[in-house]
Amino acid sequence: MTSKHDEKWYNKKISRRDMLKLTGAGVAGVAIGATGLGGVMKAMGQDVFEVVADDSTTENKVNFYGTHQSGIATPVQKHIYFASLNVLFTSKAELQALLQKWTPLMVRLMNGELMVDHATNVRVPTGDTGEASGLDASNLTITVGVGPSLFSKLNMKQLQPKALKDLPHFPKDQLQENLTGGDLCIQACADDPQVAFHAVRNLVRAASGLVEIHWSQAGFNSFPANEGTPRNLFAFKDGTGNPLVTDKKAMNEIVWVQDGWLKNGTYLVARPIQMHLETWDRTSLKDQEATFGRHRESGAPIGKTDEFADFDIEEKDLEGKYIIPETSHVHLAVKSGAKMLRRSFSYASGVLSKTGTHDAGLLFISFQQDPAQFIAVQNSLGRLDKMNEYITHRGSAVFACFPGVEKGSYLGEALFNSL
């Protein structure tokens, strides 16, 4: 636990970068703790952290350091392991220490390394569980966010962004407590499922006694040979209407927060959605396409041939009927006027109890500058969405994802510098 002395020190508005200046220490290549800086910081009651560099020689490597966290604008990988965590501590000092501890470990994991070197003492547990040994980085990304409940638990309500609050109840929601909410989240995405799972497993293990998993979900994507849009378990393309992540203007307007300690961060919405596959499989192709508002094979809007053609939801046929049905999922979503970056994954988790139906669906994940964007779309879908006949929202959570990390800093530093 942290002493009162620790709390006083953490509440001071002195950044680690300022401390480097005061002591005359450099940032690049420093392994903090082996320098005079380490002694100064320990004397003041703060745990120090190591600085680990991105390894440019690693194959299939995504950089950890940058303006934004990885796993948001990064090209979508094949697998995800998403975990919502509850914290077991009660002070902001302990949160800061945890994020400082996780930062170099995350870099190592994204470098395709074990979190620590192999143990030389076989009589004690190893520092890394080892199941990713011999695998490469697999384009691993790790994204961390904080939920609204965290700020209440740690008496940090004054730092809670106004936009960060639990999502409202939507029509047709059947949320389960064990799939809803959370104080922290870790999203690990990789092209190898074991690499993604290993990352979450070991970060949680490194925080033993400080966090516990509230809920988690593994997921997958399969990409066609031409690297086109992946299909969900209803066989329709998922993610066609996303903004281009290379379009800086669009991303600044739709995804990235522009001010406060969350500047260059974003909001993550996670919704585990059960798909009623048995009902869907008994539905005609025509009705399936009318439900989505797209042609299944091409992914194009109904009445068009190009997957990426613009939607004209007001266009009508000779009989005066909407070409894209007004109860279709896409018609209602476009009608909301809101945009977001979707980064969803399918899941299949066996069967449900005695019914024998598939426990399968979509781990819906979206990133947006404000959760109000997601709320606008979901409210537009409302009870009219024909898709409601085939899906049930089982879980819901929202998190503020920290901005990226500069080398020599740590995850979430801007939050603590705003104290």
pTM of the entire predicted model: 0.88
Amino acid found at 404: G
Average pLDDT, the chain: 89
Q: What is the pLDDT of residue 41?
A: 36
What contacts 24+ positions apart, CB below 8 Å, involve 382-388?
382/170, 382/171, 382/332, 383/171, 383/172, 384/326, 384/327, 384/332, 385/327, 385/329, 385/332, 386/290, 386/291, 386/325, 386/327, 386/328, 386/329, 387/291, 387/292, 387/329, 388/171, 388/172
Q: Which uninterrupted H or E stretch holds 153?
A: helix 148-153
Judged against a pLDDT cut of 60, whether residue 24 lies above it is answered with no
Q: What confidence tens digit (pLDDT) does each residue in 327-337 have?
A: 999 999 999 99
Q: What confidence tens digit (pLDDT) does each residue in 244-273 have?
A: 999 999 999 999 999 999 999 999 999 999
Q: What is the pLDDT of residue 29?
A: 35
Q: What confidence tens digit (pLDDT) does each residue in 293-327 have?
A: 999 999 999 999 999 999 899 999 999 999 999 99
pLDDT above 90 covers a percentage of the chain that reads: 80
In this predicted structure, which of 5-9, 123-127, 284-288, 304-308 has the lowest mean pLDDT?
5-9
Average pLDDT over every residue of 140-169: 97
Q: What is the pLDDT of residue 125?
A: 86
Q: What is the pLDDT of residue 118?
A: 63
- Cα separation of 269 and 182, whole Å? 12
Assess contact for 393 and 271: CB atoms under 8 A. yes
Average pLDDT over every residue of 363-367: 98
Q: What confidence tens digit (pLDDT) does each residue in 103-138 have?
A: 999 999 999 999 886 667 788 888 899 999 999 999
Average pLDDT over every residue of 80-95: 97
Assess contact for 289 and 283: CB atoms under 8 A. no
Average pLDDT over every residue of 81-102: 97
- Cα separation of 47 and 52, whole Å? 16
Query: Which residue has tokens 């066989």?
Result: 235
- Cα separation of 323 and 307, whole Å? 16
Q: What is the pLDDT of residue 399?
A: 98
Judged against a pLDDT cut of 90, whether residue 34 lies above it is answered with no
Residue 381: pLDDT band with limits 50, 70, 90: very high
Q: What is the pLDDT of residue 18?
A: 46
- Cα separation of 110 and 140, whole Å? 5
**What b/e sequence results for 116-154 when a residue is b if at least 16 CB atoms lie within 10 Å of its CB, and e otherwise?**
eeeeeeeeeeebbeeebeeebbbbbbbbbbbbbbbbebb
Average pLDDT over every residue of 31-41: 33
SS (H, E, C) 88-112: CCCCHHHHHHHHHHHHHHHHHHHCC
Which tokens go with 409?
């800093």
Residue 49: pLDDT band with limits 50, 70, 90: confident
Assess contact for 138 and 60: CB atoms under 8 A. yes
Counting every residue written for the chain, the total comes to 419
Query: Which residue has tokens 């109000």?
Result: 372
Average pLDDT over every residue of 233-244: 94
Judged against a pLDDT cut of 50, whether residue 26 lies above it is answered with no
Beta-ladder partners of 82 = 187, 217
Judged against a pLDDT cut of 70, whether residue 33 lies above it is answered with no
Q: What is the pLDDT of residue 119?
A: 62
Q: What is the pLDDT of residue 48?
A: 64
Three-state DSSP state, 363: strand
Residue 353: pLDDT band with limits 50, 70, 90: confident
Q: What is the pLDDT of residue 346?
A: 98
Residue 37: pLDDT band with limits 50, 70, 90: very low
Q: Of 317 and 8, which is predicted with more confidence?
A: 317
